[in-house]
Each structure stands twice: as structure tokens, then as C-alpha cells.
Amino acid sequence: MKKAINFLCWTFVSFTIISLVLTLLTTYQFVYVKYFDSYYTLQLSIIITMIMWSVRLFSFNKKLRNIVYPLLCVIIAVGAIFFMYMKVF
């Protein structure tokens, strides 16, 4: 199970990097890709990536690191959801 989550995390990181590059290329009008003409796809990929990483980093140990890192990933995801809800894309 841990290897599957690790694989999914890195897959979503790769998709986020690709969506970042395509969003920048479309925003600056070097190329036009239909779904990357706004920041919606980039924000959605960041949300999915941060949620997956919070699942991966979560552990039931009582160390501060095992609580803070997943919490920060969730805060970033919630922030991205907020900006999507406010239509800042």
C-alpha cells in the first residue's frame, strides 16, 4: 500500500509540473492548449498533489514532524480550494 501511495504521489507531482509548464506556455502565448488557458487546471493539480502528499506523510507517531508536514500540505490544499471558490484563476 505504501508503494502504491508513493507511486501516486510522484505521478501527481509529474502531472503538476507538466500542468505548470503548459499553463505558463499558454499564458504567455507561446502555444495554445485548451485546458491550460487559465490557472484552474494548475490549482486542481496542486490540490490533488497536496492531499496525496499529506496522506503519504501522515504517520501515527507522536513526533512533531509527522503532524506538521501533513498539516501544511492540507493547509496549502485548502488555500487552493479557497482561491478556486473565489474564482481567482
Q: Which pLDDT score, from 0 to 100, does residue 31 have?
A: 94
Q: Which pLDDT score, from 0 to 100, does residue 89 have?
A: 63
Burial 24-56 (b: 16+ CB within 10 A, else e): eebeeeeeeeeebeebebbbbbbbbbbbbbbeb
Domain ranges of the chain: 2-85
Rounded CA-CA distance 6/2 in Å is 6
pLDDT < 50 regions, the chain: none
Q: Which pLDDT score, from 0 to 100, does residue 41 have?
A: 92
Q: Which pLDDT score, from 0 to 100, does residue 64 have?
A: 79
Q: Which pLDDT score, from 0 to 100, does residue 87 have?
A: 85
Q: Which pLDDT score, from 0 to 100, does residue 55 have?
A: 92
pTM score: 0.86
